[in-house]
Amino acid sequence: MMHENRERLREDFERDGIVFPLPVLSARETNELRRSWDRLEKEESLDGRATTTTHSRHFDLPFVQEIVRSPSVLDYVELVLGPDITLFGTRFFCKYPSASGHHVSWHQDLDSCDLHPPIACTAWLAKD
């Protein structure tokens, strides 16, 4: 179900710890993101799988910079956290088929951030 009431977004986030789905990219932007990712993956892959160069690419990849600076993303983050926003980093989190041997267990992101007060959010943008 689309989160339609922006005024309740922060309340829902505080209660549930998550709000989704949120419209942030147009169909054109989604297609451009996919093409940009496919190019990056092809250029920097090992056996067709992304390498560790997928971390903090907002420093050198314009398409990642566009996403993290997008008003459509930042408006939602601001509704949850307020206007004082700090970007800790970016990452393409690839979940390839289980044959890849990569496993991601359940976890809480904030436990490893050492923030005081512990106020943070992760903005996920699923491409597939």
Long-range contact set of residues 8-14: C-beta below 8 Å, sequence gap at least 24:
9/76, 9/79, 9/80, 10/79, 10/80, 13/80, 13/121
Q: Could you give the CA distance from residue 19 to residue 2 in angstroms, rounded to a whole number? A: 9
The pLDDT value given to residue 1:
37
Structure pTM?
0.74
Per-block mean pLDDT, blocks of 10 residues, the chain (128 long): 67 87 89 89 70 76 93 90 87 68 61 66 78
At 25, list the tokens: 């990219």
3-state secondary structure of 95: coil
